[in-house]
Amino acid sequence: MLIADFPLFPDQASTMASKVDNLYLFLIALCGTVSVGVFLTIFYFAIKYRRRPDNEIAEDYEPPKILEVTWIVIPSILFLGIFVWASWVYFQLARVPDNSLQIYATAKQWMWKFQHPTGQREINELHVPVNRPIKITMASEDVIHSLYFPAFRTKMDVLPNRYRTMWFQATKTGRYHIFCAEYCGTLHSGMVGWVDVMEPTAYQTWLAGGSEGSLASQGEKLFQKYACNTCHTNDASGRGPVLIGVYGSSVMLSDNTIVPADDNYIRESILNPQAKIVKGFGPPSVMPTFQGQVSEDDLLKLLAFVKSLGSTRTAAPAVASPQSSTTTAAAQTTKEPKKKP
Amino acid sequence: MSDLAFEHGEEHPPHPFLQHHFEDLGQQHEASTLGMWAFLCTEILFFGGVLLAYWVYRIMYPAAWALGAEQQNTLAGGTNTLVLIVSSLTMALAVRSAQLNNRRGTVLMLILTLIFGTMFLGIKSYEYHAHWMEGLFPGAHWHWQPKDPAISALTPKVQLFMVFYWGLTGLHALHMVIGVGLLLYILARAWRGDFHAEYYAPVEVMGLYWHFVDIVWIFLFPFLYLIPHVGAHHVG
Amino acid sequence: MSDSLPPQGGHVHTPLHHVTPISTYLTVFAALAIGTLLTWYASTLDLGMMNTPIALLIAVIKATLVILFFMHVLHSTRLTWVVLIAAFLWLGVLFVLTFSDYLTRAWPIY
Amino acid sequence: MTTTTLHDVRFIEPAKTRNYLNEDYGFFSWVLTRDHKRIAILYLISVTIMFMVGGFFAMMMRLELLTPEGDLLTSDTYNKFFTLHGIVMIFFFLIPSIPAVLGNFILPLQLGAKDLAFPRINLLSWYLYIIGASFGTYVIISGGVDTGWTFYTPFSTQYSNTHVFATTLGAFIVGFSSILTGLNFIVTTHRMRAPGLTWFRLPLNVWALYATSIVMLLATPVLGITLIMLMIERVLHVGIFDPALGGDPLLYQHMFWFYSHPAVYIMILPAMGVASDVIAAFTRKRIFGYKFVAFSSLAIAFLGFLVWAHHMFVAGISVYSAMIFAFLSFFVAVPSAIKVFNWTATMYRASVSWQTPMLYAMGFIGLFTIGGVTGLFLASLGLDVHVTDTYFVVAHFHYVMVGGAVMAYMAGLHYWWPKITGRMYPEWWARLAALLIFVGFNLTFFPQFILGYLGMPRRYHAYAPEFQVLNVLSTAGASVLAVGYALPLVYLLLSLKLGRPAGPNPWGAVGLEWTTSSPPPKENFHETPVVTWEAYDYRGMMKAMGETQNV
Ligand code: HEA
Ligand code: HEA
Ligand code: CUA
Ligand SMILES: [Cu+2]
């Protein structure tokens, strides 16, 4: 597929790449045949039946009507097939595998910031191990961006004020493009970077290089800095609910609705505590809003910390919050990325 | 093929209000009413767009919406609903009078419609004034806060509600103002005696427009003034 | 006009318009006024989840009355019906398909 | 007054007959005219200017993209250029092009009417267009706008510090111009058909314009209100679409595409109508499966409303919703397929003339097919994730819009030019231009498919060096294309003076517009026509012609 000096086909460097490419090649074959067929037929008719003195008047002939049915039914069936195939690929792109390595990303005009659970931070560079599913949780600090890995055939818009997750599993080591695919202002075309896919051992060495402590431990420091710990203590004595085991559980709210405590819930709890108030703690909630005080990066660290509390939940038998019954039920949904071995 | 030629027999002189490109008044009448209906389709989708946004956020922020509706003067809104319905009735009667060659009836009913329409706008401006004074105008001038400080977090969402309140009622009021202008024009023509059983399309078209504006309000009243606190009494 | 031709094309020759009796107008008006009071009254009751649907239902009935009688759709051509139904159909498309996203999103609310 | 018939072939100098052009003179007889034909000319002039403006931005972009580095334009300038290119080409050129120019001129003629139903509203919509375009021009002169033609929030409402307000206001106003045109067409088609002209005797162009008008009438208001909400948000800083204040940027996208997807059918449906008329005229055949083609226009108009969120597959809509929209997207392709195959089948055992309009029409079928099937690539969920917001999309929409709609516009312009001006254009120059446009077009946009699949994102002012070769090809193609478009500008203008008088029906085409003199008289027909023949009744016409010749 490669012509010496310039490529006609992108690198296939993820588990999804060949699946997307197969669909693409199939569509080229099918649609190519149809388009070329239409082209040639027109051209052939235009020459064969060109207007000549003996052909001034078109023949009094209509093709059989059954043709009409043919070209309604056959394309419809083909379309249905393509739709099913394409949706199958889409589902795979959308479903994050359970054992993924967690990475956080923040988009802002005009750079990508990545944070590893072990605390490494990178800008416009991303180091990942090969053959390991990587899950990226991301949000934007300003406008909509889109994180695009052409070699992995995946991209996703990054929205302000909301976490979204995407995933990929690289299959080939090397350096591949990262692009911002959603127009985001002046330096949109400069919002690019590289993803470095490394052998697991090389990745370990890279990880061992400088870090300010794991993301969760940085989050713990922030937890103290923002005085969260004054209310969220480890026993039920504080003014706020105990946060141990909250992540991944289902929380009963003061209006008796139950919501899952996922990334976006934690985020909202910090930025806008009044929006969803835990039963027994209001309304109103005494928790102040941290909107405008905590940066996206710090939010991610706090999130990582709250998540790390979740994973120890089985060990800590403490009653997590006033409605412990709901937390136990949801404990098995907690999918924590494995810590650094 | 000369049968294609169309022989145009000499007919009686054309009606003064028959436009040159129509064959007869019937065709012209049908064209104007269809035109107005088509225009109303556009209007339905126009209001529909804001209403869509309104509903999306109403479902997202029920408490703020309820709180926003609480700030409205239901008495004024309800009165206005009735005023508008009366004006719709008089408008319908104006069309009827025109259909029946009743010039005086037409003029009278149009004047009544005009009065009620203006009355609506009067009450509306009274409400607007009150909102403005209370700081319920979104943007830089906003200074409203809920009485209960515990729910002050809802303020930005209430502001969003008020955006829709001003937007929807403003759009509606704009239509009313245009309607009043059109009414004046139609009234002048009715006064002059332009309309009769065979030529009353302008009155009919005016009526369609006026009733449509009334229908919009029929929806706006419950949407903006009467939102219940569904299962969220704790916030209010 | 040659009479042998079918009255095709857009030519309608006589304005054949229905004149609605005053009593109908008054009845409709009364229904609208009652509907208004009813909406207001219903909103003062706590009907739980039913408040919104009821308010909507009353509004739809009122609007239908205005359309059918004040706007003469009841006695209008089929075309008018088609035009009207088209508008509401499209409005429905706008709402239904948009909500097909919002109501199935994992996290619809910020 | 004489009687005109189908095959009345008199070659009178246009200037010597009484017609809409020489009825009266002077500036005000034009800018205050209520004659649909003159309004069409006004539109023709304005739309052509806009095309040149949009083309200028396109050429500047292509020059910038000659090299990977951003060397010719600054990134801000580049961003403004693609935004202005998109806005000018879509709102000020393509949407009004076929409907407001060709439709305005031809629709009443094809219906046998003296004018559109509301001549004054027709003039009003031209003025609205001009006011909107003035806002556009003001923006261009005073520093531009950089949001992309899609005005995505929150960038457009909170971050961009260019002229977003004036631009959206301009787009809003042109929107009303388009609504009023649609309204006029619908009423005219229903109420002003000549005696005997039943629905199934209408040329397919009328069906297409009718379907287009439905879309204009029902989609445009939603854009209007969305832009108003955007303006309010921008001025008042309230959170209608700003997530920081509780708004949802995806709601903006839903509402924008609720208009803008159907809008692509506003562009392509009239193109399909023109293609149908041209193909029938230059094959001297009735379009195969007339009713299928007619109803597929309506089907496209309706189905086109159900697919808008296929522009949002990676934007954050729910997976289920994405599936619904993808599924429906495939089904909007079925009526398009019907048309493509029926046009092709029409050419079977036909009498195909290779005159310019037909060349454009054949180009249209081929390029629209390529553009359309790549639309299917994009509707394929899993594949769209990779190619969305890349040059693959850019190539797709230029194939449908330039290869499809603009080609058809050129076809129609040449086909009806003799009717509009009373003069013939120079055939050989026209064929040369058609060829140049076809070749240049493919050279410009085919490489972009490959670029897109390679992963080159759109709206990029500088790009990775490995993409250069294909970009150079594309720029080279664009230069050929520019020459191709410059030619008609010259020879069409010259033909006004030098062109051979055309006579009422230079193509031997069937249709009411060809039964009146060229240029038509002010009231279109010397006598109200009565229709007794089916649409595209070429056999009937030929027979009649043979008979009269034998007499
Ligand atoms: C005239 C304009 C026009 C037309 C007609 C179309 C037609 C279609 N478009 Fe296109 N589209 C645009 C203009 C247009 N589009 C624009 C401007 C954008 C980008 C906007 C932006 O982001 O700036 C876009 C973007 C766009 C996207 C979003 C891409 C993205 O951003 O990720 C998608 C996704 O589904 C799409 C799909 C389609 C489909 C399915 C059709 C169908 O209607 C096509 C149907 C036609 C055919 C399919 C061809 C004929 C059929 C046959 C010959 C049948 C035989 C085929 C087989 C059996 C395989 N288009
Ligand atoms: C009707 C719509 C239409 C038309 C006709 C065109 C025509 C062209 N377009 Fe455009 N295009 C869009 C609609 C259209 N485009 C849209 C909607 C976008 C997306 C914008 C966005 O992202 O927001 C886009 C984006 C777009 C891009 C992508 C920019 C980017 O994402 O970074 C490019 C790049 O090559 C491009 C190129 C061209 C070219 C070369 C032409 C050529 O066909 C133009 C040729 C025409 C002329 C050159 C003018 C006529 C010529 C003369 C009168 C002769 C004299 C003039 C000269 C010699 C200069 N267009
Ligand atoms: Cu960030 Cu584009
Ligand atoms: Cu689309």
Across the interface, which of B56, B91, B96 has its CB nearest the CB of C19?
B96
Residue nearest atom 36 of ligand 1, based on CA coordinates: D375
ipTM for the complex?
Answer: 0.90
Residue nearest atom 2 of ligand 1, based on CA coordinates: D264
Question: Is the separation of the CB atoms in D451 and D396 below 8 Å?
Answer: no
- In this structure, are strands A133-140 and A101-108 parallel, antiparallel, or unpaired? parallel
* Buried b or exposed e, range D152-173, using 16+ CB within 10 angstroms: bbbbbbbbbebbbbbbbbbbbb
Q: Choosing among A157, A163, A264, A269, which should be mutated to test the C contact, i.e. which has the most C CBs within 10 A? A: A264
Within-domain flag for A339: no
CATH code assigned at A134: 2.60.40.420
Consecutive H or E run containing D105: helix D104-111
Q: End of a domain among A71, A94, A117?
A: A94
Same domain, A191 and A128: yes
Same domain, A229 and A318: yes
Cα B227 to Cα A334, B32, B69, C45, D187, distances in angstroms: 39, 39, 6, 11, 40
For residue D310, the ligand closest to its alpha carbon is 1
The pair of structure tokens assigned to B12 is 């009686």
Q: How confident is the model at residue A337 (pLDDT cuts 50, 70, 90)?
A: very low
Q: Which residues of B touch A272 (CB under 8 A)?
A: 153
Same domain, A223 and A192: no
Distance from CA of D282 to the nearest CA of A (A): 9
Q: Which atom of ligand 1 is nearest to the CA of D369?
A: 49
Q: Is ligand 3 within 6 A of the CB of residue A180?
A: yes
Question: Is the separation of the CB atoms in D454 and A21 below 8 Å?
Answer: no
Q: Is D503 left (phi over 0), alpha (psi -120 to 50) or beta?
A: left
Residue D547 confidence (pLDDT)? 60
Q: Is the peptide bond before C21 cis (omega within 30 degrees of 0)?
A: no
**Cα gap B198→D56, rounded to integer Å:** 55
Q: Which residues of C touch A268 (CB under 8 A)?
A: 110
Same domain, A73 and A180: no
Q: Which atom of ligand 1 is nearest to the CA of D387?
A: 32
Residue nearest atom 38 of ligand 2, based on CA coordinates: D58
Give the CA-trace dihedral at D479, D484, D489, D494, to 10 degrees.
Answer: 130
A328-332, B86-90, D478-482: range with lowest mean pLDDT: A328-332
What's the distance, Cα to Cα, between the start and end of chain A in Å? 40
Chains in contact with D via at least 3 Cβ–Cβ pairs below 8 Å: A, B, C
Which one has a higher pLDDT value, B7 or D346? D346
Q: Which atom of ligand 3 is nearest to the CA of D459?
A: 2
Q: What's the DSSP call for residue C86?
A: H
> Which string of DSSP letters, residue by residue, matches B28-47?
HHHHHHHHHHHHHHHHHHHH
Distance D258 CA to ligand 4 centre (A): 9
Question: Is the separation of the CB atoms in C13 and B26 below 8 Å?
Answer: yes
Q: Is ligand 2 within 6 A of the CB of residue D490?
A: no
Q: What's the DSSP call for residue B15?
A: P
The pair of structure tokens assigned to B217 is 């309000």
Q: CATH number of the domain at D25-550, please? A: 1.20.210.10
Q: Which atom of ligand 2 is nearest to the CA of D93?
A: 1
Which residue has tokens 């026993």? Answer: A235
Residue C110 confidence (pLDDT)? 42
Q: Residue B132's Cα: distance from chain center in Å?
A: 23
**Cα gap B117→B114, rounded to integer Å:** 5
Q: Is ligand 2 within 6 A of the CB of residue D199?
A: no
Which residue has tokens 């209509």? Answer: A62
Q: Which residues of A touch B235 (CB under 8 A)?
A: 283
Q: Is residue C34 within 8 angstroms of chain D, CB to CB?
A: no
Each residue of B8-51: pLDDT tens digit? 444 556 777 888 888 888 889 889 999 999 999 999 999 999 99
CB contact under 8 Å between B234 and A274, yes or no, is: no
Residue A309 confidence (pLDDT)? 76
Consecutive H or E run containing A179: strand A174-180
Q: Does pLDDT of A339 surpass 50? A: no
Q: Is ligand 2 within 6 A of the CB of residue D83?
A: yes
Q: Which residues of C touch A262 (CB under 8 A)?
A: 107
* Buried b or exposed e, range B139-166, using 16+ CB within 10 angstroms: eeebebebeeebbebbebbbbbbbbbbb
Q: Does pLDDT of D551 surpass 60? A: no
**Cα gap D290→D292, rounded to integer Å:** 6
Residue B23 confidence (pLDDT)? 82
**Cα gap D134→D131, rounded to integer Å:** 5
Ion ligand 4 nearby residues (CB, 5 A): D 261
Structural domain that includes position A163: 101-207
Each residue of A241-260: pLDDT tens digit? 888 778 877 788 877 777 88
Q: Is residue D70 within 8 angstroms of chain B, CB to CB?
A: no
Distance D396 CA to ligand 1 centre (A): 7
Q: Which of A168, A51, A227 is nearest to D386 (CA)?
A: A168
Distance from CA of B164 to the nearest CA of A (A): 21
Domains of chain B: 46-139+152-229 (1.20.120.80)
Q: Is ligand 3 within 6 A of the CB of residue A142?
A: no
Q: Is residue C30 within 8 angstroms of chain B, CB to CB?
A: no
Residue nearest atom 58 of ligand 2, based on CA coordinates: D482
Question: Is the separation of the CB atoms in B207 and B91 below 8 Å?
Answer: yes
The pair of structure tokens assigned to D529 is 């026509």
Q: CB under 8 Å to C64, separation ≥6 — which residues?
A: none
Q: Which residues of D touch A180 (CB under 8 A)?
A: 457
| Long-range contacts from C37-42, C-beta under 8 angstroms, 24+ separation | C39/B221, C39/B222, C39/B226, C40/B74, C40/B78, C40/B226
Q: Which atom of ligand 3 is nearest to the CA of A181?
A: 2
Q: End of a domain among A41, A59, A94?
A: A94
Q: Does pLDDT of D445 surpass 80? A: yes
Across the interface, which of B27, B41, B211 has its CB nearest the CB of C12?
B27
CB contact under 8 Å between C107 and A161, yes or no, is: no
Chain A residues bordering chain B (beta-carbon distance below 8 Å):
254-255, 272-275, 283-284, 289
In three state form, how does the secondary structure of D164-187 look? HHHHHHHHHHHHHHHHHHHHHHHH
Q: Is ligand 3 within 6 A of the CB of residue A83?
A: no
Cβ neighbours, 10 Å, residue D56? 16
Q: Choosing among D155, D245, D300, which should be mutated to test the A contact, i.e. which has the most A CBs within 10 A? A: D155
Same domain, A87 and A110: no
Q: Choosing among D255, D318, D512, D533, which should be mutated to test the C contact, i.e. which has the most C CBs within 10 A? A: D318
Each residue of B108-143: pLDDT tens digit? 999 999 999 999 999 999 999 999 999 999 988 898
CATH code assigned at A308: 1.10.760.10
The pair of structure tokens assigned to B34 is 């269809």
B208-222, C65-79, D402-416, D448-462: range with lowest mean pLDDT: C65-79
CB contact under 8 Å between D236 and B163, yes or no, is: yes
pTM: 0.89
Q: End of a domain among A207, A231, A254?
A: A207
Mean pLDDT score of chain B = 88
Number of residues that make up chain C: 110
A14-23, D359-368, D519-528: range with lowest mean pLDDT: D519-528
Q: Is ligand 2 within 6 A of the CB of residue D444?
A: yes
Which one has a higher pLDDT value, D13 or A264? A264
Q: Does pLDDT of D15 surpass 70? A: no
What is the average per-residue pLDDT within A121-126?
88
Residue D189 confidence (pLDDT)? 96
Q: CB under 8 Å to A264, separation ≥6 — which residues?
A: A162, A163, C107
Number of residues that make up chain D: 551
Question: Looking at this protein, which amino acid is placed at residue B91?
Answer: M
Consecutive H or E run containing A7: strand A6-7
Same domain, A105 and A201: yes
Q: Which residues of D touch B35 (CB under 8 A)?
A: 117-118, 121, 183-184, 187
Each residue of D178-236: pLDDT tens digit? 999 999 999 999 999 999 999 999 999 999 999 999 999 999 999 999 999 999 999 98
Residue A313 confidence (pLDDT)? 39
**Cα gap D68→B113, rounded to integer Å:** 67
Q: How many helices (H) and strands (E) does chain D have?
A: 18, 0
Residue A138 pairs in a beta bridge with A105, A164
Q: Which atom of ligand 3 is nearest to the CA of D457?
A: 2
Cβ neighbours, 10 Å, residue B78? 17
**CA quadruple D453, D454, D457, D458: dihedral positive or negative?**
negative
Q: Does pLDDT of D2 surpass 60? A: no
Q: Is ligand 3 within 6 A of the CB of residue A296?
A: no
Within-domain flag for A133: yes
Q: Is ligand 1 within 6 A of the CB of residue D337?
A: yes
Q: How many CB pairs under 8 A join A and B?
A: 18
Residue C44 confidence (pLDDT)? 85
Across the interface, which of D189, D197, D243 has its CB nearest the CB of C110?
D243
Consecutive H or E run containing A113: strand A111-115
Distance from CA of D306 to the nearest CA of C (A): 7
Mean pLDDT score of chain D = 92
Q: CB under 8 Å to D504, separation ≥6 — which residues?
A: D4, D8, D9, D10, D514, D515, D516, D517, D518
Q: Is residue C6 within 8 angstroms of chain D, CB to CB?
A: yes
Same domain, A56 and A109: no
**CA quadruple D113, D118, D123, D127: dihedral positive or negative?**
negative
Q: What's the DSSP call for residue A108?
A: E
Residue A129 pairs in a beta bridge with A198
CATH code assigned at A52: 1.10.287
What is the average per-residue pLDDT within A141-161?
94
Q: Is residue C64 within 8 angstroms of chain B, CB to CB?
A: no
Q: Residue B16's Cα: distance from chain center in Å?
A: 31
Q: Is ligand 2 within 6 A of the CB of residue D371?
A: no
